[in-house]
Chain A
Amino acid sequence: LPTPPARLPYVPQVPPMALLGKVTATTFALERPLCVFDGHADASDAVWLAVAFANASAAFRNPQSRADVPPYKQLPTARSYMTLETAAAAYSCSAPSPPVLRVGGDTACRDQGRQDPCNGPLPSPGPYRVKFLLMGCRGPKAETRWSEPILLRTALSPSAIDPGPARRGSAVVVIASILASLGAVLATAVLGALGAKVWGSLCPQRLGTGSFIRRSYRTHHIPPALPPPPGCGCSPPGLCLSAPRAPAPCQ
C-alpha cells in the first residue's frame, strides 16, 4: 500500500504585491512555492500544480502515476486538471527565479492540442482552488493545502457605459443664456429703430427737431442776385428776362 503523501502546511496564494495583471479573465498568478519541498524532494521529482473548480476540490483524487495525471482539455468534464510540471530543484531555496508563476499563459498548447501538460487559459471565471503536488517515480510524495478560492475577472460590455456628462456644466449654461439674451436685446433694438424710422417716414410730423447731430456742411458763399437797375439796360449782361429797351437819353 503506497504511503499517503505528506501534507505540507503551505497554502498557495495569489501574490500580495501590486501587479495589475495578477488576475485577468483567463489567467492568474501564484507565488512561487520556494523552500516548501526541501527535505521531501529528490532530484528526479517533479512538482505539479493541481487546479480544480472550488466546488470540486474536495472530490479531487491525487493521481498515482504520471500517466494518470488529468490533462488540461478534460477540465470541463473532470472539473480539474494538473499543469506546470516543474523540476523540484526549481523551487529549492537557493534557486534564482522570477517570484511569480502565471497560470493560463500558454495559448499555443490549447490551440494545437498537444498531450504534454498544458498551461492553457482557463475557460471560465471559476472560482478555482489550487494546490501543489510533489510527484515521484512511485506516486505523490507530498502535497500542499488547497488555496482559497480564486475568482477571475468578468468583463462588462461597453454598451453599459453611459457617455453623457453627469450634469451639464454651468459654464455652458452661463454662456448660452447670456449670449441669447444679448442677441435678443440687440435684435429688438434694431427692429425698434427700423420700425420707428418706417413710422416716421409714413407719418411725417416733425422735420428733424429731435436730431442733435448735424452733418458738417461745407457752404459756398453765393452772393444774392441784385435786381437789374431800371432803364439802364442789362447789367450784368445775360441776366435780362425781357428784351432790352432802347436807352432813353439822359437829361
Chain B
Amino acid sequence: MAKSDDCVHILQGLLVFGNVVIGLCGIALTAECIYVVSNPQGPYPLLKATENSDIYAAAWIGIFVGLALFALSILGIIAVIKASRTLLMVYIILMLITFAFEMASCITAATHQDSLTPEHFLKQMLERYQKSEPGNNSDNEVTKTWDELMRQNHCCGVKGPSDWQEYTSAFRDTHSDADYPWPRTCCVLDAKGLPVNLDGCKLGVPGYYNSNGCYDAISGPVNAHAWGVAWFGFAILCWTFCVLLGTMFYWSGIEY
C-alpha cells in the first residue's frame, strides 16, 4: 500500500500547489482590474460618455472573481488536506460558478474591444459632438470629453481634421464651414486657450493646427486594458480547468 499512499500524497501535493497558484492569480486579477477601473489617464471618461463601457463591466466582474478565487483556493487547500468529500464537492461547485462568471467577463472584454473600431468612434463623434439641443446631458458629456481628449493629446477628430470636412455632423449644423472648417480645439492653443494663429488654423497651415487623429490615443489604452482583462482571465481559467479536473478525480477516489 506504500506506493498507493505515495501516489495519493503526490496528488494532494499537486492539488495544493494548484490551489496556491489559483489564489495568487486571483489576487493579481483583482489588483489588475482595480487598476483598469480606476486609472484616471485612461479612456474611461470617453467610453462612459458614449455608452461603450462594457470593458469596464468586465473589469468589475474581474475584481469580484479574483477575490472569489482567492477564498476558494483556501477552501480547496483545506478540503484536499482533510480529504473531506463534502468540502470538496462544495469547492467544486463554487469554483464552477466562478468559472462561469470569469468566462463571461473574458468573452465580454474580448468581443467589446473588437468592436471599438475607428469608424465606431467617428460615427459617434460626428453625431454627438457639439450637438445643439442642451437638454440631453450625455451629449454635453461627449463634447466635454472630446474637447479634453483633443486638448490633452494635441490631436483632432478620430482620423484627423479632415473628418470634419469629409462628413456632415452635428457640429457642422451649428458652425459654418467657412468659420470653422474644424473645431477650435483642433487649433494649436496658447496658454489662455485661444488659437495661436486663427487664419493659419483655418487654412490648415502646418504648425497652427493639430493634424493627427485621436484614435491612437484612445485605442492604445483600451487595447491594453481589454487584453489585460481578457487574456489574463483566459490563462487563469485554463489553469483552473486542470486543477478542477484533478480535484474531481481526487474526490471520486475518497471513500465514503
Contacts and interface: CB of A to CB of B under 8 A. Distances in A.
Contacts of B162: 20
A117 interface: no
A56 interface: no
Nearest to B255: A211
Contact of B110 (A24, A25, A172, A180): A172
B177 A215 contact: no
Contacts of A160: 167
A24 B178 contact: yes
Interface of B is mostly: helix
A26 B177 contact: yes
A182 B256 contact: no
A16 B10 CA distance: 78
Contact of A155 (B4, B120, B172): B172
A228 to B, nearest CB: 38
A19 interface: yes
A48 B110 CA distance: 61
Contacts of A210: 253
Interface in A177-231: 178-180, 182-183, 185-187, 189-190, 193, 196, 208, 210-216
B204 A21 contact: yes
B115 A26 contact: no
Nearest to B124: A163
A20 B110 contact: no
Interface residues of A, number: 57
Given A156-B166, A186-B96, A186-B99, A175 B117 contact: no
Contacts of B203: 19-22, 29, 100, 102
A104 B248 contact: no
Contacts of B168: 155-158
A185 B93 CA distance: 14
Contacts of B16: none
Nearest to A15: B203
A190 B249 CA distance: 10
Nearest to B125: A158
Given A163-B123, A175-B107, A179-B103, A193 B178 contact: no
B254 A105 contact: no
B116 to A, nearest CB: 9
Contacts of B254: 211, 213, 215
A135 B163 CA distance: 41
Contact of A21 (B92, B172, B181): B181
Contact of A183 (B92, B103, B111, B172): B103
A161 interface: yes
A172 B8 contact: no
B148 interface: no
A191 to B, nearest CB: 10
Contact of B255 (A100, A169, A186, A213): A213
B76 interface: no
Nearest to B204: A20
A126 interface: no
A215 B202 contact: no
B115 A107 contact: no
Nearest to B252: A193
B177 A121 contact: yes
A43 interface: no
A22 B203 CA distance: 6
Interface in B150-171: 161-162, 165-169
B142 to A, nearest CB: 14
B167 A161 contact: yes
Contact of A107 (B7, B106, B178, B245): B178
A105 B252 CA distance: 83
Contacts of A27: 177-178, 181
B103 A105 contact: no
Interface string A73-112: 0000000000000000000000000101010111100000
Contacts of A120: 178
Given A19-B203, A212-B7, 8 more contacts: A21-B204, A22-B204, A153-B166, A161-B119, A165-B114, A175-B234, A176-B107, A182-B241
24 contacts: A21-B203, A100-B203, A121-B178, A153-B165, A157-B168, A160-B167, A163-B115, A163-B120, A175-B106, A176-B110, A179-B103, A179-B106, A182-B241, A183-B103, A186-B245, A187-B96, A193-B251, A211-B253, A211-B254, A212-B8, A212-B253, A213-B250, A213-B255, A215-B254
